[in-house]
Structure 1
Amino acid sequence: MSAIDLNARASSTYADKLAETSVLLQQAARDHAASAPGGASRITLACSLGAEDMVLAHLINQLQLNIGIFVLETGQLHPETLALLDRLKATSRAPVEVFTPVTESVVQFVDREGKDAMYKSIELRKVCCHIRKMEPLGRALAGKAAWVTGLRREQSGARAEVPLIDSSDAKITKLNPLANWTWGDVWFYIAENKVDYNPLHDQFYPSIGCAPCTRAISMGEDFRAGRWWWEDETAKECGLHVKDKAAA
């Protein structure tokens, strides 16, 4: 059974949420347009190539918005994810930038701690996340006024209060246009619009990250149970969506 067959069930307020998301993206594109004619947009979508982000990429392209898209290619992504990245780059109207970690940093870390360092301790796993995700993220967001993410309140307890617009960081605004969407809403949109998606979702991977740190989940498990499954639930973020005070 495919992820569409299993999950595509729109909530009763789906149409309202879709309209809300579309309006938010359109307004954000206007508010953070290029500083000069022909210049780069000051807003970008952080695309993990998961279901939510593929919905947002589709909306940005469908609405013909001047919002860029970037992907963090950590060097540890599944082959299925890399293949989807190639398809997105080939079909997206919006430009898709790929950011990779600094090779020397990765080599030094692996030489020092081993290729399975993420399993040894939370501290080492977070160092790996910093090298492969956080440092490239900083480059991806340099010079941007806002960024778009696929965070939803339903994803986990840690994300239960995700706002549509997060202005808590004075340097950059974070937009979460799908904050109110259910998992069923996401898949209903994918089904209705024939959105390309990662086939790992058909293998019970609702949340997909780096290959060593992601597994399929079983019926009844938490949505993010397959991410860093060997760690305590309170530690299950890589840093991309953790506020400074929480990270400290």
Structure 2
Amino acid sequence: MSEHSSLPDAVARRWFDLLDRIGAIAAAHPDALLASSMGVEDSLLIHAVAQCTPRLGVFMLDTGRLHAETLAMVDVVRQRYGIPVRVMQPDPAAVQAHVAAHGEFAFYESVALRKECCGIRKVEPLRRALAGHSAWITGQRREQSITRVDLPEAQWDETFGLRKYNPLADWAGDDVWAVVRALAVPYNPLHDRGYPSIGCEPCTRAVRPGEDPRAGRWWWEQRDSRECGLHASNLADRPRVRPRATDVVSSDS
């Protein structure tokens, strides 16, 4: 704890609360996995996972279209924390068939084709990564998007059939950056170039000051369609699944 003794009170409260949340999830689900896009939220969660015992597994979806800076973060994480990030890749045959049928940039043509591309490059590899596990953790926040304003801290993921935890759900972006900077957490350099949300290179652009944090993701679509299928419940037109009494969302819940 000594390395954190000089943290401002507000930062310390946020940081230690996050450690409590991750520790409680790990205690309830030792096999839980952290899904990392190598954005700043996930960098913070990796930093927290590295402090907890048991240490949870971390994986990343390499769609074949990520920025070089994002791919480089795998080595940064390994060198800084000794965490071997599992890199999940899509089925090459499925990618080739989709490109042959629709073209290399079909995702610009319609939401349906874009989601089909995401399904091949992201959803199917995610399903393989999560197979046999009881829970997974994401870096989603309610503030990020209109599709995430009702995001719970814990939920049942009907798409993949396991518990899902969003320990940063109630965090503001300023909270994330305050803790990251105070703890010198390594983060994706694309953030310093105007990318608050980072995905595939053709589907991600820098945003202007004051724009929605996810305005640079699939910017040619309507705001309420901007999910890739990893978090299908964010778009579901039905009541949110409330955390059960057995769900762990913080140390005192």
Show CA shifts across 1:156-186 (max 9, x none): 1211121211135493111111111111111
Show CA shifts across 1:58-93 (max 9, x none): 111123442100000000001111111222233333
**1:193-232, aligned counterparts within 5 Å?**
193-232=183-222
Q: Which SS does the other structure have where 1:243 is aligned? A: helix
Alpha carbons 2:147, 2:226 under 8 Å: kept: no
Aligned-partner Cα distance in 2 for 1:89–1:113: 37
Deviates more, 1:184-193 or 1:167-176: 167-176
TM-score normalised per structure 1: 0.87
TM-score normalised per structure 2: 0.85
Alpha carbons 1:152, 1:159 under 8 Å: kept: yes
Counterpart amino acid of residue 44 in structure 1: L
Q: Which residue of 1 aligns with 2:18?
A: 21
Q: Which residue of 2 aligns with 1:7?
A: none
Counterpart amino acid of residue 191 in structure 1: R
Q: How many residues align?
A: 231
Q: Which residue of 2 aligns with 1:4?
A: none
Alpha carbons 1:164, 1:176 under 8 Å: kept: yes
Q: 1:87 aligns with which of 76, 83, 102?
A: 76
Q: CA deviation at 1:94?
A: 3.5
Q: 1:47 aligns with which of 26, 30, 36?
A: 36
Same amino acid, percent of matched pairs? 45
Aligned-partner Cα distance in 2 for 1:168–1:74: 22
Alpha carbons 1:67, 1:94 under 8 Å: kept: no
Q: Which SS does the other structure have where 1:59 is aligned? A: helix
Alpha carbons 2:147, 2:235 under 8 Å: kept: no
Q: Which residue of 2 aligns with 1:122?
A: 111
Aligned-partner Cα distance in 2 for 1:20–1:89: 25
Aligned-partner Cα distance in 2 for 1:247–1:58: 34
| Residue 31, structure 1, aligned to residue 31, structure 2 | no
Consecutive aligned runs of 4 or more in structure 1 exceeding 2 Å deviation: 10-20, 62-66, 89-95, 167-171
What is the CA RMSD across the aligned residues, in angstroms? 2.2
Counterpart amino acid of residue 102 in structure 2: E
Q: Which residue of 1 aligns with 2:124?
A: 135
Q: Which residue of 1 aligns with 2:171?
A: 181
Unaligned runs of 5+ in 1: 1-9, 34-41
Q: 1:160 aligns with which of 149, 171, 191?
A: 149
Counterpart amino acid of residue 166 in structure 2: N
Unaligned runs of 5+ in 2: 1-6, 239-253
Q: CA deviation at 1:240?
A: 0.7
Q: Which residue of 1 aligns with 2:244?
A: none
Alpha carbons 2:18, 2:48 under 8 Å: kept: no
Q: Are residues 32 and 174 of structure 1, via their aligned partners in 2, closer, same or farther at CA, if it must alter by over 3 Å?
A: same
Alpha carbons 2:11, 2:179 under 8 Å: kept: no
